[in-house]
């Protein structure tokens, strides 16, 4: 596919008003918490108070007697499953349906505090809450394990008796908490280290963090008498919900309809099913709609944070500034069920660089915490924190400017990544050059206890399936029907790509996000794929529509289609240039000349196409009396390929930085020894506030992605990747201490300063 970056674009690259803006600012947009159906019941969930315990019995007989209680369900009400059924996800990869079932409702054991044990449907929330108090669960508490290194030790409490380590494709012969070990290998690392003039070897630790979306999980289900099911929920992937509910309840896909509501943030945390299965069970039993909305402490304790990790990194370079060897072991928490983001961490830790000799080991380890889920470039931030801190130290030891050192070793087109992929055209070098030339990097820092840190990060653009339909109205507007849930303005950026292809204004496209019955399969809004992949579907649907418009025009003019040219929203007769008709003029004549016309496209974009790179600069000041860190200035430079909506693109960069700063300085899941989260509120779980933030300057680099018609690369996830590393490197410049644990909060900084002064 050729790119169009070399020609003038009229819509793509501008910043039109978002199509859903009025609905959002007037309160007209309907979120899951706003949704109501006649006869609806209200649900609440009973959750385990233990991090690890056998469930010996559940007695809810007294709760059922409470006036207004309509149904109570436990794991026994889910369809039986004889073994660990592995399912192939349309999103790519294999998942365990047994694990999905276990995370929905605990069976023989509770594996983390907050895991669902039972659910109640009642006439009111108050009655449902009272009913929870009457449910008697007999637990046998078991020893819990909360950290990966402890979970890997011989004799550690085993979470799953049927989990056997898959080590490089070979299954172990006894149960373990280590779900898998993977490896990437390239060149001869041992020999390369012998040639290195400087070698740095360090260990790092990061904590679990929450995605921080404001809207809690919610679901409303209605099970019809004919066995059809409709679910209204806040989700990033309505088709994922449809598919997993269909599989879990062993019912045909055609009987499951999922309606995505407006979504108040997700960042990867609203892909899996939680409440959807519970509302479905309760609705099936009662014959009435059932709605459940999580409370904030449930969000923290019962949904999926990003993984905690332990990472060791060893890198070697020659005195002329070339990195010649990299070795790392990444050990990631998966939570109570296998499937951490360690693979993405492995893929990204050395990806910004051209290193011929690498050895990367990755371990996926289960612990007694909520099942890990994606969070904006899942797995990449901990890996970048470790890798970029070591890169920075290498540059210091060699006496080379940290940005110039990165430029000397930058990955480029033709560089083979550690996961074996040969880079196509990428913009890593361009982001570093832009950082070197930026006003920020060339401005004096000034003042005591201040430091400037730099770091670079990588993330891939996801592909997957997307579908778009375009329907022409007689007034020349176009209804765009698509299945990508709109989290950050995707309606508008998809409409803009269709408008560009059709040569009409973005305002003349009216985008609609529809349910699973109204559009072809569309993957999740995540993986930095939506603007790229669904945008490609919008472009292809426009091409299909253009072809049909040309055909209709040729019939009206009584010429062959080859004699009709379509340019910038106008159809021309090649033989008679004076004979022309605008898109709107043709639209008005469609019904009278043969009927309405629609364009449609379904694409399967190749996965991980159009990798994106970002380089970041952070200035900060450390208070030596308290360990407090004040962020003074941040510049984020990123290759967008092509920024479709410049305002949105800049906002994505700034938003990623804010979350990265929170991860770097404050945010973490704090647990006591019993596996109870001690900070499950927004008062205690400290996310950045406006007062904590400086002006964040975005610089967009555009190195066109050759596999997209407008050169688009994913932009949503890369900004969070290297922020913690840039902060760590800035703290070093300000204090002379290298931080190796996230978050780098005041107590940890004071401890490090104290150790330094000894």
Of the candidates 240, 235, 254, 238, the one whose C-alpha atom is nearest the C-alpha of residue 91 is 240
Residue 1's pLDDT band, with cuts at 50, 70 and 90, is very low
Query: 32-142+216-263+270-302 domain in CATH 3.30.470.20?
Result: no
What percentage of residues in the chain have a pLDDT greater than 90? 93
Residues for the chain: how many in total? 758
Query: What are the sequence ranges of the domains in the chain?
Result: 21-29+463-605, 32-142+216-263+270-302, 309-461+608-757
Whether 21-29+463-605 shares its CATH topology with 309-461+608-757 is answered yes
CA gap 142, 147 in Å, rounded: 16
- Tens-digit pLDDT profile for residues 703-754: 999 999 999 999 999 999 999 999 999 999 999 999 999 999 999 999 999 9
For the record, the structure tokens of 201 come out as 């070897």
pLDDT at 612 over 60: yes
User: By the 8 A CB rule, do 197 and 319 touch?
Assistant: yes
Q: CA 672 from chain center: how many Å? A: 28
CATH level 2 (architecture), domain 21-29+463-605: 2-Layer Sandwich (3.30)
Report the alpha-carbon distance of residue 693 to residue 664 in Å, rounded: 13
What CA–CA distance (Å, rounded) separates 532 from 527? Answer: 10
Q: How many helices and strands, by DSSP H and E, does the chain display?
A: 19, 30
Is 663 within 8 Å of 307 (Cβ atoms)? no
Give every CB contact of residue 375 below 8 A, 6+ residues apart in sequence.
209, 210, 211, 267, 268, 269, 305, 306
Q: How confident is the model at residue 86 (pLDDT cuts 50, 70, 90)?
A: low
What is the mean pLDDT of the segment spanning 629-656? 97
pLDDT value of residue 188 = 98
CATH code for the structural domain at 309-461+608-757: 3.30.365.10
Cis peptide before 538 (omega within 30 of 0): no
Which stretches within 113-187 are classed as H helix? 125-134, 148-151
Q: What is the 3-state secondary structure (H, E, C) of 541-609?
A: HHHHHHHHHHHHHHHHHCCCHHHEEEECCEEEECCEEEEEEEHHHHHHHCHHHCCCCEEEEEEEECCCC
279-334 tens-digit pLDDT: 999 999 999 999 999 999 999 999 999 999 999 999 999 999 999 999 999 999 99
∠532-535-540 over CA atoms, to 5°? 125
Query: Whole-model pTM?
Result: 0.97
Q: Please, is 647 exposed, middle or buried when counting C-beta atoms within 10 Å of its C-beta (0-12, 13-18, 19+)?
A: middle
Mean pLDDT over residues 444-472, rounded? 95
Q: What DSSP string describes 673-693?
A: TTS-BS--STTTS----GGG-
Question: Is residue 229 a contact partner of residue 245, using CB atoms and an 8 Å limit?
Answer: yes
Tokens standing for residue 307 = 């993984």
Which two tokens mark 550? 């040309």
**Given a cut of 60, is residue 608 above it in pLDDT?**
no
Closest to 114 measured CA to CA, from 30, 178, 186, 45:
45
């Amino acid at each position: 596919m050729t790119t169009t970056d070399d020609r003038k674009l009229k819509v793509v690259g501008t910043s039109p008003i978002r199509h859903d803006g009025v609905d959002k600012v007037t309160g007209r947009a309907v979120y899951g918490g706003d949704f109501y159906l006649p006869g609806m019941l209200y649900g609440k969930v009973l959750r385990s108070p233990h991090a690890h315990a056998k469930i010996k019995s559940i007695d809810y007989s007294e709760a059922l007697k409470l006036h207004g209680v309509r149904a109570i369900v436990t794991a026994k009400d889910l369809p039986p499953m004889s073994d660990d059924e592995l399912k192939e996800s349309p999103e790519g990869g294999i998942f365990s349906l047994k694990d999905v079932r276990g995370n929905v409702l605990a069976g023989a054991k509770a594996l983390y505090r907050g895991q669902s044990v039972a659910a109640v449907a009642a006439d009111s929330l108050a009655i449902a809450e009272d009913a929870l108090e009457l449910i008697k669960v007999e637990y046998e508490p078991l020893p819990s394990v909360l950290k990966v290194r402890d979970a890997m030790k011989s004799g550690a409490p085993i979470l799953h008796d049927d989990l056997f380590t898959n080590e490089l494709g070979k299954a172990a012969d006894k149960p373990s908490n280590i779900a898998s070990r993977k490896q990437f290998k390239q060149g001869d690392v041992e020999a390369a280290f012998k040639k290195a003039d400087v070698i740095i070897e360090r260990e790092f630790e990061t904590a679990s963090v929450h995605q921080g979306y404001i809207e809690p999980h919610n679901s409303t289900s209605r099970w019809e008498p004919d066995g059809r099911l409709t679910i209204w929920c806040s989700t990033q992937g309505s088709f994922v919900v449809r598919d997993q509910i269909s599989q879990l309840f062993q019912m045909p896909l055609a009987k499951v309809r999922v309606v995505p509501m407006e979504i108040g943030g997700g960042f990867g945390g609203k892909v899996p099913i939680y409440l959807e299965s519970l509302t479905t069970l309760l609705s099936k039993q009662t014959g009435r709609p059932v709605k459940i909305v999580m409370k904030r402490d449930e969000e923290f304790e019962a949904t999926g944070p990003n993984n905690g990790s332990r990472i060791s990194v060893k890198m070697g370079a020659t005195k002329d500034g070339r990195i010649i060897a990299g070795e790392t072991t990444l050990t990631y928490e998966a939570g109570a069920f296998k499937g951490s983001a360690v693979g993405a961490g492995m893929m990204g830790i050395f990806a910004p660089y051209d290193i011929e000799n690498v050895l990367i080991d990755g371990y996926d380890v289960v612990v007694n915490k909520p099942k890990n889920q994606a969070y904006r470039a899942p797995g990449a931030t901990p890996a970048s924190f470790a890798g970029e801190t070591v890169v920075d130290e290498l540059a210091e030891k060699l006496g080379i400017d940290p940005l110039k050192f990165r430029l000397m070793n930058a990955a480029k087109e033709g560089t083979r990544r550690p996961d074996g992929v040969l880079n196509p055209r990428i913009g890593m070098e361009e982001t570093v050059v832009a950082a070197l030339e930026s006003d920020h990097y060339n401005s004096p820092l000034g003042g005591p206890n201040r430091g400037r840190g730099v770091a670079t990060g990588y993330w891939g653009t996801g592909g997957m399936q997307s579908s778009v339909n375009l329907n022409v109205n007689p007034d020349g507007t176009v209804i765009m029907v698509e299945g990508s849930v709109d989290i950050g303005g995707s309606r508008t950026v998809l409409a803009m790509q269709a408008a560009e292809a059709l040569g009409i204004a973005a305002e003349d496209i009216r985008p609609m996000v529809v349910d699973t019955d109204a559009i072809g399969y569309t993957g999740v809004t995540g993986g930095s794929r939506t603007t790229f992949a669904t945008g490609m579907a919008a472009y292809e649907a426009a091409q299909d529509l253009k072809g049909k418009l040309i055909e209709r025009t040729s019939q009206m003019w009584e010429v062959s289609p080859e004699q009709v040219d379509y340019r910038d929203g106008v159809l021309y007769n090649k033989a008679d240039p004076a004979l022309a008709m605008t898109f709107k003029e043709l639209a008005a004549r469609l019904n009278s000349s043969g009927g309405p016309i629609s364009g449609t496209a379904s694409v399967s974009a190749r996965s991980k196409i159009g990798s994106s790179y970002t380089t970041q600069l952070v200035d900060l000041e450390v208070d030596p009396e308290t360990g407090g860190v004040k962020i003074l200035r941040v510049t984020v430079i990123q290759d967008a390929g092509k920024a479709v909506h410049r305002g949105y693109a800049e906002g994505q960069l700034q938003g990623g930085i804010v979350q990265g700063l929170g991860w770097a300085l404050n945010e973490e899941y704090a647990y006591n020894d019993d596996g109870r989260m001690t900070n499950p509120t927004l008062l205690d779980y400290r996310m950045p506030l406006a007062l904590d933030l400086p002006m964040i300057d975005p610089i967009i680099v555009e190195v066109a992605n050759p596999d997209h018609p407008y050169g688009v690369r994913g932009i949503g996830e890369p900004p969070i990747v290297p922020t913690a590393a840039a902060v760590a490197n800035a703290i070093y410049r300000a204090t002379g201490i290298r931080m190796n644990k996230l978050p780098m909060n005041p107590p940890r900084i004071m401890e490090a300063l104290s150790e330094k002064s000894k």
